[in-house]
Copies of this chain bind each other. A is one copy, B any other.
């Protein structure tokens, strides 16, 4: 999934043109490229944003906690937090109650960066959805949220 090369999209076989999973893949790909490129110009990644936003909303959390909340794997969280710590956006301190845990908290600089990223991400979402009216955007978000929710509820959901 994720294909660009879409200048020639009009040649797509009609049978494929409205397949939901295909449309989702295409849209997600475009979105990802757009957001990633935009965030790169602020020396950031989507994960940086996800982690900082989560930390802001929650206050502080262990790495495993953050992992669950953001959907970023425990294994990748290590490197991500290294980067954020390097830039002094977060602090890692050992949890006195549980010596296995690190307590991750967001710093002042991290908050600043977050509000910068917040604006940037919002602008990028606007750019992404530029072709849709405000009402349509809301509707789309709504449908997607319901799709995601219904899906994790039923089926192969996360056991």
Contact = CB atoms under 8 A, between A and B. Distances in A.
Taken together, the copies of this chain in the complex come to 2
A140 B20 contact: yes
Nearest to A136: B143
A80 interface: no
A142 to B, nearest CB: 9
Nearest to A21: B31
A31 B13 CA distance: 20
Contact of A57 (B14, B27, B150): B14
A159 B6 CA distance: 9
A5 to B, nearest CB: 6
Contacts of A7: 152, 157-159
B148 A73 contact: no
